[in-house]
């Protein structure tokens, strides 16, 4: 049982996504990261781009390290993407080396209209949005981004059907290593064991007296509904309140993962705000601060950021 549990934990790690982009497409990068948030909150994906690099870190080393460990590479395609020497000579070149070795997938994301199919390597891949229609050509950008998330979801959802891979074919790379059939079967078996064990534990109170099964179902439905509400709120206090109500609930683990991911998002926005302030980019810094504040207004780092803003403006 311990061995099965360890295998389950290993398989449940989020899929690592590496985003390649030109500086001119930073806004599209941010939109894409935000659109992927629902998948990240479910602990299905963890995205990374060079905006996560902290002051004083070796940026080239960090980029290469995260590229080497990525499961999925999302190059944001535009004319600026093609004109970037670093992207062409370092990032996408290494990405295709790993792709050809079956170590990652590459899913091109077409940001702006360009002759992207002239790159034979990209032309062989199914791009997103579907049909390779650039995000900027859609009448509604939110719908374009949602179509991208839907495509990526087919690759990372633990309950997806193999037949759904037809939307994003596995040309040259084969199935993702952790999605092999025997591992998926093992995952399903472990989940069933955990659920049954949880229900069995709830069927008896500590003195051995049976509990009404209807009470169990009502508890499960209430917990699920409250979890969805906390998830929709997108704040750490909401998730913590849920955990206080259901400390040993079936969704307790998911709530803990959601808190971790929200904290990472908060930390990223605070770090970005500090950097943007140094560059006198006050509007962008304010936006980053507001995002962090919505996630958890009581975070100590926000107080430090407020003090820095006061000192600079005095």
Q: What is the CATH number of the domain that holds 39?
A: 3.40.50.10140
- pLDDT level of residue 122 (50, 70, 90 thresholds): very high
Query: In this model, does residue 285 exceed pLDDT 70?
Result: yes
Task: Give the C-alpha distances (Å, rounded to integers) separating 16 from 76, 160, 184.
Answer: 16, 18, 18
Q: What pLDDT band is residue 183 in, cutting at 50, 70 and 90? A: low
* pLDDT at residue 278 tops 60: yes
Whats the size of the chain, residue-wise? 314
Whether 184 is covered by a domain: the verdict is no
Does any domain span residue 183? no
Q: Is the torsion defined by CA of 155, 159, 165, 168 positive or negative? A: negative
Total domains, the chain: 2
Q: Are residues 170 and 238 in the same domain?
A: no
Alpha carbon 308 to chain centroid distance?
30
Give the residue numbers spanning the domain of 260. 212-313
Which residues partner with 76 through β-bridges?
109
Does residue 146 share a domain with residue 37? yes
Res 190: pLDDT: 61
Whether 91 and 165 map to the same domain: the answer is yes
Instruction: Measure the CA–CA gap between 290 and 297, rounded to whole angstroms.
Output: 9
Same domain (yes/no): 107, 253: no
Reply yes or no on whether the pLDDT at 166 is more than 50: no
Position 296 pLDDT exceeds 80: yes
Percentage with pLDDT > 70 across the chain: 74
Check whether residue 227 and residue 167 sit in a common domain: no
* Whether 124 and 224 share a structural domain: no
Question: Which residue, among 165, 219, 217, 159, has the nearest Cα to 191 in the 3D structure?
Answer: 159
Statement: residue 168 has pLDDT above 70: no
Q: Is the pLDDT of residue 218 over 70?
A: no
Do residues 115 and 33 both lie within one domain?
Answer: yes
Closest CA to 297 of 223, 233, 218: 233
In a domain, 202, yes or no: no
pLDDT exceeds cutoff 90 at 76: yes
Last residue of a domain, one of 110, 145, 174: 174
Closest to 151 in 3D by CA, of 74, 265, 66:
74
The region that residue 130 occupies, defined by phi over 0 for left and psi between -120 and 50 for alpha, beta otherwise, is beta
């Amino acid at each position: 049982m311990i061995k099965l549990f360890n295998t389950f934990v290993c398989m449940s790690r989020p899929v690592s996504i590496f985003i390649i982009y030109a500086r001119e497409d930073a806004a599209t990068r941010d939109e894409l990261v935000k659109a992927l948030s629902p998948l990240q909150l479910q602990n299905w994906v963890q995205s990374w781009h060079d905006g996560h690099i902290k002051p004083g870190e070796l940026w080239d080393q960090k980029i290469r390290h995260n590229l080497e460990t990525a499961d999925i590479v999302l190059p944001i395609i535009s004319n600026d993407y093609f004109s970037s020497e670093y992207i062409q000579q370092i990032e996408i070149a290494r990405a295709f080396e790993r792709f050809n070795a079956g170590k990652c997938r590459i899913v091109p994301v077409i940001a702006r209209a360009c002759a992207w199919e002239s790159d034979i390597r990209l032309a062989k891949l199914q791009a997103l949005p579907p049909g390779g229609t650039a995000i900027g050509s859609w009448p509604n950008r939110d719908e374009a981004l949602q179509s991208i998330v839907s495509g990526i979801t087919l690759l990372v959802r633990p309950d997806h059907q193999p037949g759904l891979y037809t939307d994003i074919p596995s040309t040259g790379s084969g199935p993702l290593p952790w999605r092999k059939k025997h591992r998926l079967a093992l995952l399903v078996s472990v989940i069933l064991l955990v659920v049954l064990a949880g229900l069995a534990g709830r069927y008896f109170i500590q003195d051995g007296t049976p509990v009404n099964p209807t009470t169990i179902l009502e508890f499960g439905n209430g917990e699920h509904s409250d979890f969805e509400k906390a998830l929709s709120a997108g704040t750490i206090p909401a998730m913590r309140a849920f955990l206080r109500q259901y400390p040993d609930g079936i969704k307790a683990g998911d709530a803990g993962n959601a808190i971790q991911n929200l904290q990472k998002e908060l930390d990223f926005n605070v770090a970005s705000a500090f950097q943007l302030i140094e560059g006198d980019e006050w509007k962008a810094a304010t936006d980053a601060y507001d995002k962090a504040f919505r996630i958890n207004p009581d975070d100590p780092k926000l107080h430090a950021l407020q003090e820095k803003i006061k000192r600079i403006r005095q």
